[in-house]
Structure 1
Amino acid sequence: MRILVVEDDPDLSKALLRALEKRGYTVTACFDGVKAFQVIRQRIHDIVILDLSIPGEDGLHLLQRMRAAKILTPVLILTARSSIGDRIAGLNAGGDDYLSKPFDLDELEARIRALSRRIRGYEESRLVCGQLRLERDSGAFYVGDEPFPLPPREKSMLQELIAKPGHAITKERLFRIVFVEEDQVHFEAIEVVAHRLRKKLVGTGTVLMTLRGLGYLLREENAAAEKVAGAEV
C-alpha cells in the first residue's frame, strides 16, 4: 500500500515514515500543501495522511482542491485541531477519517487498515501502472486525472498489458486480441502497434518493453527492479 504523508513537522514526518515502513507500507512525504497537490496529481497513492496546519496551502484548502479535481484518494486527517467544529469541517471538506494529535501508532494503523478495506472494492474496478489507470467498468484510460484516449488497436493491446504489469505477454496472444477476426493482417503488424503505443506512453510513468523470444511487457518507468514473470501463451 502506497501512503503519502503531508506533515510539516520534520521530526514527526520522519517518525511516521520509519514506523509505517517497518509495518510494510510504501511511504513518501511532503511538507507543504502546494507541493503535496502536485504530487497527488502526478502519482497514484492509496491513502493520504494529512495535517491541516501546513504551510503554502492549508490542509482544508488542499482537501477541497483534491475533491474539486475529482481526486478520490482516501484522506486520513491527522492534526492537533481536535474540536468538534474542526472535525466537522475536515470531514465536510472531503476527509474520510479524522485522528487528533497526540495519537497512538497502533490506532493510526488500525484506521489505515479500515480505510484500505473500504477502498478495496474501488481498487478492484481499476488497473494501475505508473501514472496510467484503466477503469474497468468504462474501459477508459487516464493519466492521473486526465483522459488518455487511444485508437482501438493500441487500446486493446494496452488493456491486455496493464492487466498484468511486469509480466510478459506473447506476440501471438497480443496479435489474436488486437487483430481479432482480421484474417488478412500480417503477423508483423503487431510490432507496428507496439511501436505506436510505446511512443504514446512517453510521460505516463510507464514503459513498454520488448523481450526477445517472449513478447512485450508493461512496467513502471522507475521500477527499482525489472522482473520478468515469463510469457503467457
Structure 2
Amino acid sequence: MKFGKRYSKMTVVMAMLHGVVIGVAAVVVIGLVLFIGKGKVEPSASGKEVPTAGPAAVETPVETPPTDKEQSLKLFAKQHGVFSSAEAAALFIAEDPSLAKAEVIHAGGNYFVWSAVGLKEGEIETSEYEGTFRKSFSVNIATCGAIGAGKLHEVLAATEMGQIKNLVAQQKGAKDEGEMKDFYKNITTITAFTTDLRVIRLKLLSHYSSTNNCVKFGF
C-alpha cells in the first residue's frame, strides 16, 4: 500500500513559482540594506562627525598674532649727524634753531639726529648746504602691542592725516579704552603739535624707542 499525498502538476508548478518569488524578494531586500548602509559614514577617529550631504562644514578660523615680518617697516630719515653720546647730539640740536623739531635716536650704539621720517625716499629732501643726507633703515615694532601700542604700525604707515584722525575718532567712540589709552593720548598730543606725517613718525619712533624700548632699528 502506498502512503503519501498525490499532488497535481499545477500544484507543483505553483509551489516552484512561489519559491522563486520568495528568493528574488530576499535578494532585493538584502541589496537595499547594503545600499543604505553605504550611505552612512562612521565618526572619524578625532570624534568629529563627517557630513554625507549638504554644504561642507566651515570651521571658524583661528586669529593669529602678526609675525615679526608683518610688524617690520622700511623707512627713510633726514639725518643731520651721528654722535657717540646723547649729550653731544642734544648740544648739536640746541645750537641750531632750525632743528627745533629734530629728535635724537639711539640705535646701534650711536646717537642720530633726525628731523623727518618718510615712507619713500622722495619724501626726504636733503641739502649739501645743510650737510644732511637720506638714511634708510627699518623698524620692528612686534613687541609694542604688549605695552598698548598695537596700532603704532598703522600710524607709521599712514599716508594721509585723515587716516590718523579716523583712528583716533574710532577710539573716542569706544566704551573701554583699556591699554590703548596712553597710546592715543600720545597721538593726540603729537598731532596737536604738528600735522606733518614725517615729523609725527619721527616723534613716535623717538618716544617708543627711548621710553618703552619696543622699537627695534635695523640698518
- Report if TM-score (shorter chain) is over 0.5: no
Which TM-score applies when normalising by structure 1?
0.21
Structure 1 or 2: more strand by fraction: 1
Higher relative contact order (CA 8 A, sep 6+): 2
